[in-house]
Amino acid sequence: MPDALDTPDAPAALAVSRRIGPELVELRRRLHRIPELGLHLPDTQALVLESLDGLDVEVTLGESLSSVVAVLRGRAPVSGDRPVVLLRGDMDALPVTEEVDVDYVSQRPGLMHACGHDLHVAGLVGAARILHELRDELVGDVVLMFQPAEEGPGGAEPMIREGLLDAAGRRVDAAYAVHVYAADHPYGTWFGRPGTLMAAADEVMIRVHGLGGHGAAPERTRDPVPVACEIVLAFQTAVTRQFSVWDPVVLTVGRIAAGTVNNVIPDDAHIEASLRTFSPEHRAKAHEVVTRVAQGVAAAHGLTAEVSIGNGYPVTVNDVDEQAFAQGVVVDLFGAERWTDMVDPEAGSEDMSFVLEEVPGAYLNVSACVHPDHRDAEDNHSPRAAFDDAIVPDVAAALAEMALRRTRELARTD
Ligand SMILES: [Zn+2]
């Protein structure tokens, strides 16, 4: 495979990333041993701060979560406004017991970096170090976003509330993030798409309220059990009959619960569903349809249904121009043979979507698959998900190069 580093005009970011690569891999392995969940990641935060120590950056710690925002200022002269680019790495792990046989295996039973966010942290630290070394060439400022709680309950939104997008003293112009994959593509393949990349995911909770009684005399009750079953089936009809197939809706009932024993009709039945949509329009419409169908089916049988739909992460949308730019950086650094267009969006969701709702940007994926055949590899979130951290220096170089080039372009067009 040709390597951009072998060419005389290889980007400096790539050269620095290769040199500091072993230290970034070591950092990833230290992070991998100490996975933490959710909004509060004190050990991870401490390791990030230790890794940024000695760099000339302005650090702000989160108040309601253990985020780290570091602003790195370029030293190249700029006439006019200083461009600002945001680079993001999420930091949290999952409640999974690791079954990967490596010497840096998780030291915390029941917790694992099963989505590879440890590689994201190491990659973003690497980008910081590259940009710091090259800051005489950096035209503008870079906001480094170390984010907790991507896996829930969501860290991007509180970070935005705490001032993330204005951390450099001026609004962020463009934002980039990279996610690693344990499967799906051969190692080293980058992939993405313009426009819709990932779904919005909302949690639907329904209580079907009836009137319990003796199983021998249903006519004296209002039995919620068959009504709950009808609601589940009616959802599937609603999805296929009320929404265009070209803007899909995925509605999965993952839990249905009612009653105690066979001969007692319960008062209530409970339905819990996951609703995934790929456009704000269908998301709003799906909320209406789910509520109307549940309440309407219940009413038809003389019962009531209480529906609550929690707003999860919005649709993740890559700006068309920013995606083309980020893809161009990857192709320049690693060669066109390492890029693959994603035909379809994914039904997963991501809270980088909150950042991309506010500023244009791009979210790319890269395979860190360790298996010789990626079709045999287990997916992210599996207790056997394994990531090849040789990819970390590439992630660092790509993020740093995006910041270097985009700030330069923005300064030129200002
Ligand atoms: Zn993830």
For residue range 318-369, list pLDDT tens digits in order.
999 999 999 999 999 999 999 999 999 999 999 999 999 999 999 999 999 9
Position 410 scores a pLDDT of 94
Copy the structure tokens of residue 321: 């121009």
CA of 269 to the centre of ligand 1 (A): 33
Kindly write down the DSSP assignment for every residue of 310-366, as one continuous string: EEEE--EEE-HHHHHHHHHHHHHHH-GGGEEE-SS-BS---THHHHHHHS-EEEEEE
CA of 234 to the centre of ligand 1 (A): 33
Copy the structure tokens of residue 404: 């270097």
CA of 156 to the centre of ligand 1 (A): 13
CA of 146 to the centre of ligand 1 (A): 13
Position 414 scores a pLDDT of 59
Task: Report the pLDDT averaged over residues 78-101.
Answer: 95
CA of 224 to the centre of ligand 1 (A): 38
CA of 175 to the centre of ligand 1 (A): 17
Closest CA relative to residue 210, chosen from 301, 271, 309, 273: 301
CA of 184 to the centre of ligand 1 (A): 14
CA of 201 to the centre of ligand 1 (A): 14
pLDDT tens digits, one per residue of 234-285? 999 999 999 999 999 999 999 999 999 999 999 999 999 999 999 999 999 9
Contact 39, 150 (CB under 8 A): no
Q: Which residues have CB under 8 Å from 211's CB, separation 6+? A: 221, 222, 267
Cα angle 362, 252, 315 (rounded to 5 degrees) comes to: 20
Task: Report the pLDDT averaged over residues 129-155.
Answer: 97
DSSP assignment letter at 82: P
CA of 121 to the centre of ligand 1 (A): 12
DSSP assignment letter at 36: -
Is the pTM above the cut of 0.75? yes
CA of 362 to the centre of ligand 1 (A): 16
Looking at the chain, the whole-number percentage of residues with pLDDT higher than 70 is 97
CA of 61 to the centre of ligand 1 (A): 22
Which band of pLDDT confidence, cut at 50, 70 and 90, is reported for residue 4? very low
Task: List C-alpha distances in Å: 404 to 13, 83, 131, 140, 408.
Answer: 9, 10, 8, 9, 6
Q: Tell whether the model's pLDDT for residue 2 goes beyond 50.
A: no
Residue 160's H or E segment, with its range, is helix 156-161
Ramachandran angles phi, psi of 387, nearest 5°: -125, 135
106 strand-pairing partners: none
* CA separation for the pair 49, 127 (Å, rounded): 14
For the chain, the residue count is: 414
pLDDT tens digits, one per residue of 359-414? 999 999 999 999 989 999 999 999 999 999 999 999 999 999 999 999 999 998 75
Task: Report the pLDDT averaged over residues 33-37.
Answer: 98
HSE-up of residue 3 (Cα within 13 Å, Cβ side) = 7
